[in-house]
Amino acid sequence: MNALQDEMILPNGVILSNRIAKSAMSENLSNKNHEPTPTLINAYKVWSKSGAGLLITGNIMIDSNAIGEPRNVVVENRQNLRQLKKWAKSVEGTNTQLWAQINHPGRQAMELINSNLKAPSAIPLKTAGRKNTTKKVPEVLSEKEILEIIEAFGNTAIILKEAEFSGIQIHGAHGYLVSQFLSPYTNVREDRWGGSLENRSRFVVEVYRKIREYVGASFPIGIKLNSTDFQKGGFSEEESMEVVKILSKEGIDLIEISGGTYEAPTMMGKRKESTIKREAYFIDYIEKVRQITNTPLMLTGGFRTTSVMKDAVTSNQLDIIGIARPFAVFPNIGNDILNESRLDFITNIKKTGVKAIDGMMNIVWYESQIKRMGQGKKTNPELSAWSVFFNYLWLIIEHKLKSKSKKPVPSQELK
């Protein structure tokens, strides 16, 4: 028997057809107006036939003034509802669910394409790179702005429900805004949003409650949460487990575990020696979390062989196997795992030899593979890193030019 073929019943009664999920990856495939494109939708049509029980989209931004990538989809009103419905219907006729991951980047908004960076506290990214080239100090969010962002999460969620996505995932990991509020390193506020863990977790709790208020009890809501930030003075493993308890009590339907930030990108390949044989980056942590919650757990990062995936679910260490980058290279991966027709899914990106460029290949090389899928092409393990880099550079330049000529837009539409 292959335990990965088993159904998963979520707390609200929704059933996932098996234990394989495509975790969120940045697709960077919107058009210039940040709407879903045929290429993006076609990529999900390919994945809908992959055999996975759950597909989670890449970042959907809740605010056009806070964007992580030049071609992120933005949902802040109903202007692109028709395209969103086409995206949601990409899984039509399959047993696969499509959840929309929604996000605000906070200080991790890409500086080159965002005029203002906003964050819980005025603490810049320590490292330079594609997210923040000048270590610019972000502006501190006011109480009013915090409440507006919480409302925006709910607003985006209800629009995506209307578009008929199967569920919502809050991005609460990898150093984005929710993660920034949780971390004592990035949140040094002295009001009700900072200080104690109760205060620092208030933002994510209020975001969850607002979304639940808008979408109702029967609509799945999940979260991607850091096991730890892997930064001195940051969000710790012990605090993460307390947040798991809090969100479980609130009634969240699925908790996906990851870890790291853009300053300490552990989610992109670093593992403790003790976990290498078991592949997954955060397996030690999730075994501890399994003891404190009955909420379904999904673990993403490092899974590459079918046998290890089966063992993880069979031993009840976790409920859902989250896989990201291999989905961009092996589009039929779910079926391959469930049928055991392929036993490993190793991916190796191509590099330029230039350290400053190769760091971003962990994301943009896979974005290019997803684009090939959406264009009806086969994925290409030999895809040139230099061609990927120059195409990405052009996207940034193009977005910057568009931003200079951008006219003011009406304030976001609320419920």
Long-range contacts of 285-291 (CB under 8 A, 24+ apart): 285/227, 285/228, 285/237, 285/240, 285/257, 285/259, 286/227, 286/257, 286/317, 286/318, 287/317, 288/237, 288/241, 289/241, 289/244, 289/255, 289/257, 290/316, 290/317, 290/318
Tell me the HSE value of 93 on the side-chain side, using a 13 A CA sphere. Answer: 5
Question: What's the pLDDT at 394?
Answer: 83
Is the Cα dihedral 104, 110, 115, 116 positive or negative? positive
Q: Which residues contact 213 (CB under 8 A, 6 or more apart)?
A: 154
Q: How far apart are CA 159 and CA 383, in angstroms?
A: 36
Give me the pLDDT at residue 206, please.
Answer: 98
DSSP alpha helix (H) spans, 15-142: 38-48, 81-88
Please, what is the Cα angle at 181 between 178 and 182, to 5 degrees?
90
Question: Where does residue 208 rank: exposed (0-12), middle (13-18), buried (19+ CB within 10 A)?
Answer: buried
Instruction: Output the pLDDT for position 274.
Output: 46
Do 104 and 120 meet the contact criterion of CB atoms below 8 Å apart? no
CA-CA-CA-CA torsion for 221, 12, 210, 32, nearest 10 degrees?
Answer: 30
Domains (range + CATH), the chain: 3-404 (3.20.20.70)
Is the alpha carbon torsion for 344, 350, 355, 356 positive or negative? Answer: negative
Q: How far is CA 24 from the centre of its chain?
A: 4
Q: What angle do CA 386, 360, 88 make, to 5 degrees?
A: 100
Predicted pLDDT at 114: 86
In our burial notation (b when 16+ CB lie closer than 10 A, e otherwise), range 95-120 reads ebbbbbbbbbbbbbbbbbbbeebbbb
Token readout for 209 is: 């409650």
pLDDT in tens, 144-191: 999 999 999 999 999 999 999 999 999 999 999 999 999 999 999 999
Sequence-ordered list of residues with C-beta below 8 angstroms from that of 340, at least 6 positions apart, any chain = 2, 306
Which among 91, 166, 178 is positioned nearest to 141, based on CA atoms? 178
- Residue numbers of the chain with a pLDDT score lower than 50: 128, 267-278, 408-415
Query: In this predicted model, what pLDDT tens digit does every residue of 86-125 receive, in sequence order?
Result: 999 999 999 999 999 999 999 999 888 888 899 999 999 8
Residue 65: Cβ-neighbour burial (10 angstroms; 0-12, 13-18, 19+): middle
Question: Which one, of 22, 16, 46, 91, lies nearest residue 345 by Cα?
Answer: 22
Dihedral over alpha carbons 277, 280, 283, 289 (to 10 degrees): -160
Instruction: Report the pLDDT value the prediction gives residue 410, as an integer from 0 to 100.
Output: 46
User: pTM of this prediction?
Assistant: 0.90
pLDDT, residue 302, reads 85
Can you give the pLDDT at residue 264? 61
How crowded is the C-beta side of 141, counted as CA atoms within 13 Å?
30
Residue 281's nearest CA partner among 265, 263, 301 is 301
Looking at residue 290, what is its pLDDT?
95
Sequence-distant (≥ 6) Cβ neighbours of residue 12 within 8 angstroms = 217, 218, 219, 220, 251, 253
**Beta bridge partner(s), residue 254:** 222
User: Which pLDDT value is given to residue 406?
Assistant: 58
pLDDT value, residue 391: 87
Overall residue count recorded for the chain in this entry:
415
Cα distance between residue 298 and residue 318, in whole Å: 6
pLDDT at 128: 47
